[in-house]
Amino acid sequence: MLTKQKTGAARLAAGIFFALSGLLGGHTAGAATPSSTATVTFHVVVLAGTCATLPGDTTLPLGEVSDLKFKGKGTVVAQKKFSVQLQDCDESVNAVAFSVEPTDADKDDPTAFPNAGSAGAGVGIKVASGDVALDPAGINTVSVEPSEDRIATLPLEVSMVQTSDIRPHGGDVQSVFTLNISYA
């Protein structure tokens, strides 16, 4: 938005006078130099620097696991490490914070993402970065600093976990979560 505003009646008259004298080609000796002021206001939205993300969704196969591996509530199997990498981080980015978009948790374990696959009740997915569990409630946040080559890497570990005393039966285990990214 650009706003131009002239201020003061006397200044406006002097501006008109200047325009008229210029149009007539004359100049009156000893006359005050005409003046005009304008206030210009700019409305600008400055976005903080960001990083480039890889397009699309990521699917992480955890492989096949025997249901006999599940020995009781809390048993963790099929751990897999991977990372989320952001590139071309703006030089103004000092830290990148990751959290999970709040979603429903497993009904028996509020720290696990629920299984939407056919393996039935009793198994969920846990996601962690180091010692910090990224929970379905979206409470925990993990921050990383971009490297000198302006890449921010979030190391993650995903695993299946038995969430109840009921042994899961054969079938697919599927869960979906969304990472929120913020910059500092």
Domain residue extents for the chain: 2-42, 67-183
Three-state secondary-structure class, residue 76: strand
pLDDT above 80 for 79 = yes
pLDDT at 127: 92
Q: In the β-sheet with 179-183, what is the strand arrangement from edge to edge?
A: 141-144, 96-100, 179-183
Distance CA 177, CA 127 (A): 10
pLDDT at 8: 30
Fold of the domain built from segment(s) 67-183: Immunoglobulin-like (2.60.40)
Q: CA torsion sign, 133 to 135 to 139 to 144?
A: positive
pLDDT at 16: 25
pLDDT at 27: 41
pTM across the whole model: 0.68
**What is the dihedral angle through the alpha carbons of 135, 141, 144, 146, rounded to the nearest 10 degrees?**
110
